[in-house]
């Protein structure tokens, strides 16, 4: 759905006509609720008066990118939530009583003796094996588990200081499949 803008100039008069057109894909009964769970490259939303917060959220969040979201008409913000609204109460509770302490700890910086597991969707281990072999965070982990390895049984995937304890490869064709798990040599199964 691409908007089309045309300007029409006539020789006899001094006026311009500008038309914004949204070519639409025909569909039957595509309500906001029916679109829930789907994503679309282009979405046109007409936020009407009386639209609830949840309807506005669902309708606007269907677009995969903000550049593909078109709001037409006058934007009328929904009413604020009631004080006893379950969502509002939950956020109030989280702000006052259940504050999360942000703590980011990298295994290579830790002084404690812990068992660290590194899990990563590598999307082709052959393309990224050098990255894994030279990344301090990966190498300081106790266990490395990689998925979507796209590997074949003939691929050499050793990492110094680790042993392979599980490997599942693609059979004939490399595809988004596969898993490999390494365990640091210091540990036993």
pLDDT in tens, 75-121: 888 888 888 888 888 888 888 886 777 777 787 888 788 899 999 99
pLDDT of res. 142: 94
179: helix, strand or coil: strand
pLDDT of res. 102: 77
Q: Is the pLDDT of residue 160 over 80?
A: yes
- Provide the Cα torsion 162, 166, 171, 177; round to 10°: -90
Q: Is the pLDDT of residue 52 over 90?
A: no
Q: How confident is residue 25, by pLDDT bands cut at 50, 70 and 90?
A: low
Highest mean pLDDT among 1-15, 21-35, 62-76: 62-76
Higher pLDDT, 60 or 159: 159
Determine the Cα–Cα distance for residues 95 and 80; give it in Å rounded to an integer: 18
């Amino acid at each position: 759905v691409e908007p089309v803008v045309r300007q029409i100039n006539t020789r006899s008069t001094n006026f311009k006509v500008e038309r914004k057109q949204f070519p639409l894909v025909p569909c039957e009964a595509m309500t906001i609720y029916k679109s829930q769970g789907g994503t679309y490259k282009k979405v046109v939303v007409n936020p009407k008066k009386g639209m609830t917060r949840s309807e506005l959220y669902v309708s606007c969040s269907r677009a995969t990118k903000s550049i593909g979201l078109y709001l037409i008409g006058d934007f009328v913000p929904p009413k604020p939530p009631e004080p006893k609204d379950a969502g509002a109460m939950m956020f109030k509770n989280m702000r006052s009583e259940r504050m999360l302490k942000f703590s980011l700890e990298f295994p290579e910086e830790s002084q404690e003796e812990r068992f660290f597991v590194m899990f990563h969707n590598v999307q082709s281990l052959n393309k990224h094996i050098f990255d894994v072999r030279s990344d301090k965070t990966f190498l300081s982990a106790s266990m490395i588990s990689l998925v979507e390895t796209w590997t074949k049984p003939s691929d050499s995937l050793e990492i110094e200081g680790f042993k392979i304890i599980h490997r599942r490869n693609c059979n004939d064709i490399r595809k988004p499949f596969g898993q490999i798990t390494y365990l640091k040599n210091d540990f036993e199964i």
